[in-house]
Amino acid sequence: MQKNQDEYSGHSSRRENRASSYGSRYEEKNRNSASGKKSAARKKRSGRKKSGSRRSHMNRDKKIVLLFLAVFAVLIIILFAGIFVLRKDGQDRSYGSQGIFSFLSGSQSADAAPDVTVDLDSLYSPYAALIDESTGTVLGDKRSDEVIYPASMTKILSVWVAIENISNLDAEVTMAYDFYDELYAQSASQAGFEPGETTVIRELLYGALLPSGAECCMQLAIEAAGSEDGLVELMNQKAEKLGLEQSHFTNCTGLHDDDQYTTTYEMALILRAALENETFREVFTTHYHVMSATDVHPDGFTVWSTFFKNVEDEIVTGGEILGAKTGYTQEAGLCLATMAQVGDREYILVTAGWSSEDIGSYHILDAFTGYDLLGEALGFGNESEGIG
């Protein structure tokens, strides 16, 4: 009995020892497991923190890049808007200063005018102005700030303003009847269109500038502004926008009116501004033009520039005359506005007021003389051949 109890007690003690031993290992295992879980959790949290930190840096970098791009885009928009505004402002003013637009455009107008002075006192015409076309700089003058009558040089302004105010230059138009009697009465020059003749508006531009057709100007006035008075109002508005202080217009043809006047300098500025218009430049620099067939002229007809038909060639010292508009009334005398290329630049020369019993082509001779003097001042050899 005692033996059984001792054996039982021994078994019980071994079980307790095993239980204690197993329990210790179990607790250690649990502790290790718990420790591993905690370690894994810490690593996981650490990983999340590092990942979140990387995402935060990436998001911040993206925001910086997007902000930079937005600022850059705004600056580009402001730059181009500024160029557009300066371009338009430059077209509406006298073009006396070139400003930032000329620098940005990189065009010829950004170049300074040549540092030369041309003495125009030898010209027959009592009034003259020679300017650099790109900058408007005066290179020579002869009483260029005194008031003159512009005669048919007026058509430079009237045609330019008409171009700007007619939406479709290729539309058909029928010549009105009501202004012809007045033009006949004043012996106004005409291109050759008859009352009631149907043509295309663009043809009237050539008719007005090349043979100095008054009927073309009158019809252009109707198409552009409803009447001659309407076009004249637009012409004076344009002169005001150009900053001209000694110019005023009462008609679109150049027929004499004591209240229609300008100066050779301001007429040069008008031509300079008009040449910025590509359509005007194309017509102004044309020597002759064949009109398309009409109901009255089924074979069309040819009109010549009143300047180029009177010269053998257009060569001057260092270049050539590219375009011209003549003018004459008894009160105005012989007038001429020309544009020439000498070297790699363009220039404008306006002369007026030559009047003599012997009304020859002295205004044309003045144009060649003026540009020859300019070419010589710029260092070119004498290449002009004169006039015919």
Residue 210 phi, psi dihedral angles, 5° rounding: -80, -65
CA distance 188 to 155: 13
- Percent of the chain having pLDDT more than 70? 72
Say what the pLDDT of residue 11 is.
45
Q: Which amino acid is at 231?
A: L
Instruction: Of 346, 333, 358, 293, give the one whose Cα is nearest residue 114.
Output: 346
Is residue 318 within 8 A of residue 378, CB to CB? The reply is: yes
Q: Is the pLDDT of residue 8 over 90?
A: no
CA distance 207 to 162: 13
Q: Which residues of 167-187 are buried (b: 16+ CB within 10 A; e: fewer)?
A: eebeeebebeeebbeebeeee
Instruction: Of 312, 309, 368, give the one whose Cα is nearest residue 342.
Output: 368
Residue 161 phi, psi dihedral angles, 5° rounding: -65, -40
**Number of CB atoms found within 10 A of residue 128's CB:** 29
Over the stretch 9-51, which tens digit does the pLDDT of each residue have?
Answer: 444 454 444 444 444 443 444 444 444 544 544 554 555 545 5
Mean pLDDT of 239-252: 97
**Number of CB atoms found within 10 A of residue 193's CB:** 24
Is residue 149 within 8 A of residue 143, CB to CB? The reply is: no
Cβ-Cβ contacts under 8 Å for 113 (sequence gap 6 or more): 132, 134, 135, 137, 139
Mean pLDDT, the chain, whole residue set: 82
Residue 143 phi, psi dihedral angles, 5° rounding: 55, 40
Mean pLDDT of 338-358: 92
Least confident segment among 74-78, 227-231, 367-371: 74-78
For residue 128, the SS3 value is strand
CA distance 176 to 334: 30
CA distance 364 to 367: 5
Please state whether the predicted TM-score (pTM) of the whole model is above 0.85. no
CA distance 183 to 17: 138
Where is pLDDT greater, at 218 or 94? Answer: 218
DSSP type of residue 323: E
DSSP type of residue 107: S
Ranges assigned E (strand) in 239-318: 288-290, 302-304, 315-316
Structure tokens that stand for 293 in this block: 């067939």
Over the stretch 307-329, which tens digit does the pLDDT of each residue have?
Answer: 999 898 999 999 999 999 999 99
Least confident segment among 70-84, 110-124, 125-139, 272-286: 70-84
Structure tokens that stand for 173 in this block: 């138009």
Rg (CA), the chain: 43
Over the stretch 136-183, which tens digit does the pLDDT of each residue have?
Answer: 999 999 999 999 999 999 999 999 999 999 999 999 999 999 999 999
Angle, CA 60 vertex, CA 55 and CA 65 arms, to 5°: 125
CA distance 285 to 265: 21
